[in-house]
Amino acid sequence: MKQNVYITGFSSTKFGEHYDKAASSLATKALLGSINDAEIKKESVQAAFFGSLVSGSNSQTSIGSTCIRECALQIPITRIEAGNASGAAAFQQAYSGILSGLYDCVAVVGVEKLSDYVIGGTIEKILGATIDYHWEFEMGATLASLYAILTKAHMKEFKTTLEQLAAVPVKNHKNGVKNPLAQFRREISLDRFLKAKRIADPIGRFDPATYCDGASSIILSSSKIIAENPDIKTKIPIVGLGHASDTLSLHHRDTLTSLQATKKAANQAFKMANINAKDINVAEVHDSYPIGEILAIEDIGFFPKGEGGKATEDGLTSPGSEISINPSGGLKARGDPFGATGIAQIVEIVKQMKGEAGERQTADFNYGLTQNVSGTGAMTYVTILAREEVGK
């Protein structure tokens, strides 16, 4: 039997400010939630993979150890750190754990507790490590100013306008209203984005996604588990995975109007799934800045290079269109607890697959995609899920 890997359970906490909860408590809530959702005994989970950026810079590195103790489990745990893409990175290692035959059932947990750092003022320093710390961060560049460079390059080369850029978060906030787990469930008008004070021109103060707290968890199972449990409630096959790297720094790259790691990771995932971008009808992409979503939808191949801004402005990525981008609200409205984000993106596609996305449900579709990015594109992960019928 060819080994396939299936998502068989999922859970997310609400994203936002959880001042009263430790990172491990958020992780525990998500992990137990996903076990509960999978309708399995917790002892069935043979290993857990944790994705987080900050826990390594924090006092208690070992969120995974604390989490499994709180769950009264004693299973092997592995922590993956891939900057802002730590969640998707952990997902890929969990996938590899099943595919290799080492495990039949594993959990993956993405978690971050960022409120504490925002107060402490250390968040920018932590994020500085996801870019070139010595040649970018220490020289005064931040993620915002580097994304401003990416934005300007796109505006210059493709005449992308501020209105087109703002159309990204306008749409995502509209979507977020319909997501009960999103941090921000309110719309922000185009006018408000355009009139906002610039924090790193052309990026305005409402443009970036917020750092927040949250955890998401997914249960992955082997073909064997699926075969033995015909009545299993959730069985979403993972049909494509891609993972590519680029330089940390912008100044080492050949282009500023494309993220090469996204292109490579998407191509890899499409090749593995044996489909192309046209087969995808719903996607969660890394919109930590408006240009992030525009680069994503171009580099993945949903729209030709240079047309992402116009497509967004024209509503071609809104719910109901051929390709719905970030129906969950994206990082922008859902909130961005780094390690949790990559898992939350996949959870959203699973909910859409299962018809459990409530008011933000995408109509009939076969394939969904997620894209999770670290830094300004130093690492990108792409995941493709399929309906069971087509993904076999």
What does the binding site for its own copies look like in residue numbers (CB under 8 A)? 47, 53, 56-62, 65-66, 68-69, 74-83, 89, 92-93, 96-97, 99-102, 125-126, 128-130, 132-134, 137-138, 243-248, 252, 374-375, 378-379
Q: Which is nearer to its own copies, 80 or 114 (CB)?
A: 80
Q: Which is nearer to its own copies, 125 or 310 (CB)?
A: 125
Least separation in angstroms between residue 318's CB and its own copies is 32
Packed helices 290-299 and 143-158: angle between N→C axes, nearest 10 degrees? 60
Least separation in angstroms between residue 250's CB and its own copies is 13
Least separation in angstroms between residue 48's CB and its own copies is 9
Coil/strand/helix, residue 244: strand
Least separation in angstroms between residue 63's CB and its own copies is 10
- Whole-angstrom CA distances from 180 to 5, 9, 270, 350, 375 are 29, 19, 31, 16, 28
Least separation in angstroms between residue 217's CB and its own copies is 17
Question: Residue 217: enclosing H or E segment and its boundaries?
Answer: strand 213-222
**Cβ-contact 217, 110 below 8 angstroms:** yes
Task: Report the sign of the C-alpha dihedral through residues 376, 381, 387, 390, in that order.
Answer: positive
Q: Which is nearer to its own copies, 62 or 223 (CB)?
A: 62
Task: Report the sign of the C-alpha dihedral through residues 5, 300, 353, 10, in that order.
Answer: positive
Q: Which is nearer to its own copies, 92 or 217 (CB)?
A: 92
Q: Which is nearer to its own copies, 65 or 223 (CB)?
A: 65
Could you tell me the two tokens for 241?
């995975």
Least separation in angstroms between residue 212's CB and its own copies is 20
C-alpha 40/C-alpha 6 separation (Å) is 14
Q: Which is nearer to its own copies, 75 or 232 (CB)?
A: 75
Least separation in angstroms between residue 261's CB and its own copies is 9
**Cβ-contact 372, 342 below 8 angstroms:** yes
Backbone φ and ψ for 58, nearest 5 degrees, come out as -95, 180
Could you tell me the two tokens for 279?
């087969």
Q: Which is nearer to its own copies, 80 or 311 (CB)?
A: 80
Longest CA–CA span in the chain (Å) reads 58
Least separation in angstroms between residue 378's CB and its own copies is 5
C-alpha 84/C-alpha 337 separation (Å) is 8
C-alpha 163/C-alpha 310 separation (Å) is 9
Length, in residues, of the chain: 392
Q: Which is nearer to its own copies, 177 or 272 (CB)?
A: 272
Could you tell me the two tokens for 36?
């509960």
